[in-house]
Amino acid sequence: MVRVKYTDSDVDLVARMMRAEAEGEGKQGMLMVGNVIVNREKADCLDFKELRNIRDVIFQVQGGNYSFEAVQKGNVFYNRARSVEKRLAKQTLDYWREHPSKHALWYFNPYAACPTTWYNQPLTGQYKQHCYYEPIANTCEGAYRF
């Protein structure tokens, strides 16, 4: 059973985002970024209401800016997805989930120690340079659905 419905275009978008946001963190780091994307689509709560597909998640605008820095700045996101990232994206869309991104809706690279909260949401852990945050218990049941 797949985690979310997706198209080939969605696989390409997720693959490009994973590479742009976490290529330096290897396959595991890219999978974690992909997991946050899928979690945001499934969540339907907090900052992520009304996101009905992968495209909505990738191109979401909050506070006048795209939610993902890679879309805002352009960098690697606008390059073609490579086959290795497409395989990882499909893996994330189909089934992959792992701590600390398992239920995370946010991540960022603080270039320092991870703060214990991010926008009042608790730290679930760190993988290499990225810190992952999931919603406070009972505030977003959708983030905890498979």
The string of pLDDT tens digits covering residues 19-49 is 999 999 999 999 999 999 999 999 999 999 9
- Torsion angle in degrees (nearest 10) through CA of 2, 87, 28, 33: -60
pTM of the prediction?
0.95
pLDDT, one tens digit per residue, over 50-82 is 999 999 999 999 989 999 989 988 777 888 999
131 neighbors 123 (Cβ within 8 angstroms): yes
- Residue of 84, 74, 71 whose CA lies nearest to 37: 71
Give the ranges where 23-68 is alpha helix by DSSP (H).
Answer: 26-43, 54-58
**Mean predicted lDDT score pLDDT of the chain:** 94
Mean pLDDT of 96-115: 95
Distance CA 42, CA 137 (A): 16
**Residues 20, 94, 54: CA angle, nearest 5 degrees:** 50
**Residues 33, 100, 71: CA angle, nearest 5 degrees:** 20
Helix (H) or strand (E) holding 142: none
